[in-house]
Amino acid sequence: MSIRYTVGRSEFRTFEEGLEKEWLLTNGIGGFAGQTVIGANNRIFSGYLIASLHPPVDRMLVLAKTQEAVCIGDKEYDLAAQSYIGMNREGQKYLNRFELDVVPTYTYEVEGIRIKKSVALEYGKNKAVICYEIWGGRKESSVNITPCFNYRPFGEVVEKSQLKFKTELLEEAKGGSLILTPEDYPDIRIEFMSSEGKYFDRSLKPVSMATPNYLVEENEVYKMDVRTGFLGVDHHYTPYEIHVPVNRGEYKTFYLTCNVNAKGPIATGNGNNQGIDIANGEPKTSKVTENTNFKDGFTILREYKRRIYQLMDHIPYKDMLAKRLAWAADAFIVERESTGLKTIMAGYPWFTDWGRDTMIALQGLTLCTGRLGDARDILESFSRYVKDGMIPNVFPGSAEEEPMYNTIDASLWYFYSVYKFLQYADTENDYQFVKDKIYPSLKEIMVAYEKGTHYGIGMDEDYLIQGGSNLDQLTWMDVRVGDWVVTPRHGKAVEINALWYNALRIMHWLSEYYGEDGSYYLDLATKVKESFQNKFWNEEKGCLYDVISKESNETKETKETKETNETKGSGDGEQNEVYDDRIRPNQIFAVSLPFTMLDREKEKNIVEVVREQLYTPYGLRSLSYEDKEYKPYYIGKLINRDGAYHMGTTWAYLSGAFITAFCKVNDYSHDAVMQAKEMCEYFGDHMEDGCLNGIAEIFDGEFACTSRGCYSQAWSVGEILRAYTEDVLQHL
Residue 263's pLDDT is what? 56
Residue 275's pLDDT is what? 31
State which amino acid sits at residue 207.
Answer: V
Distance CA 297, CA 311 (A): 22
Q: How confident is the model at residue 567 (pLDDT cuts 50, 70, 90)?
A: low
pLDDT of 222 strictly over 90: yes
Residue 556's pLDDT is what? 45
Residue 359 Cα distances to 342, 511, 620, angstroms = 13, 21, 19
State the average pLDDT for the chain: 91
Average pLDDT over residues 103-113: 97
pLDDT digits (tens, 9 = 90+) for 608-653: 999 999 999 999 999 999 999 999 999 888 888 988 899 999 999 9
Cβ-in-10-Å burial (0-12, 13-18, 19+) of 88 comes to: middle
Decide if 129 is inside a domain: yes
pLDDT of 59 strictly over 50: yes
Decide if 217 is inside a domain: yes
Q: How many domains does the chain have?
A: 2
Decide if 240 is inside a domain: yes
8 Å CB contact between 633 and 644: yes
pLDDT digits (tens, 9 = 90+) for 653-702: 999 999 999 999 999 999 999 999 999 999 999 999 999 999 999 999 99
Which of the listed residues 219, 241, 256 is the one where a domain comes to its end? 256
Structure-model confidence comparison of residues 547 and 479, the more confident one = 547
Which of the listed residues 256, 279, 298 is the one where a domain comes to its end? 256
Residue 551's pLDDT is what? 75
Cβ-in-10-Å burial (0-12, 13-18, 19+) of 452 comes to: middle
Distance CA 154, CA 349 (A): 9
Decide if 553 is inside a domain: no
Instruction: Pick the closest to residue 587 from 548, 626, 631, 644 (CA basis).
Output: 548
Cβ-in-10-Å burial (0-12, 13-18, 19+) of 168 comes to: exposed
State which amino acid sits at residue 500.
Answer: W
Average pLDDT over residues 379-383: 93
Residue 472's pLDDT is what? 86
pLDDT digits (tens, 9 = 90+) for 397-438: 666 778 889 999 999 999 999 999 999 997 899 999 999 999
Residue 290's pLDDT is what? 40
Residue 230's pLDDT is what? 87
Q: How confident is the model at residue 703 (pLDDT cuts 50, 70, 90)?
A: very high
Decide if 569 is inside a domain: no
Q: How confident is the model at residue 109 (pLDDT cuts 50, 70, 90)?
A: very high
Q: How confident is the model at residue 232 (pLDDT cuts 50, 70, 90)?
A: confident
pLDDT digits (tens, 9 = 90+) for 110-169: 999 999 999 999 999 999 999 999 999 999 999 999 999 999 999 999 999 999 999 999
pLDDT digits (tens, 9 = 90+) for 234-292: 999 999 999 999 999 999 999 999 999 875 433 323 333 333 332 233 433 333 334 44
Residue 402's pLDDT is what? 83
Decide if 582 is inside a domain: no
pLDDT digits (tens, 9 = 90+) for 314-363: 999 999 999 999 999 999 999 999 889 999 999 999 999 999 999 999 99
Structure-model confidence comparison of residues 551 and 288, the more confident one = 551
Residue 639's pLDDT is what? 86
Q: What is the pTM of this model?
A: 0.92
Question: Residue 308: in which H helix or E strand, if any?
Answer: helix 297-314
Q: How confident is the model at residue 212 (pLDDT cuts 50, 70, 90)?
A: low
Residue 273's pLDDT is what? 31
Distance CA 588, CA 518 (A): 28
Decide if 343 is inside a domain: no
Average pLDDT over residues 14-41: 98
Give me the domain span that covers residue 234: 5-164+198-256
Question: Residue 254: in which H helix or E strand, if any?
Answer: strand 251-262
Residue 174's pLDDT is what? 77
Decide if 291 is inside a domain: no
pLDDT digits (tens, 9 = 90+) for 61-96: 999 999 999 999 999 999 999 999 999 999 999 999
Residue 555's pLDDT is what? 45
Helix intervals (H) in 486-637: 494-513, 519-536, 553-558, 589-592, 600-613
What is the percentage of the chain residues whose pLDDT exceeds 90? 82
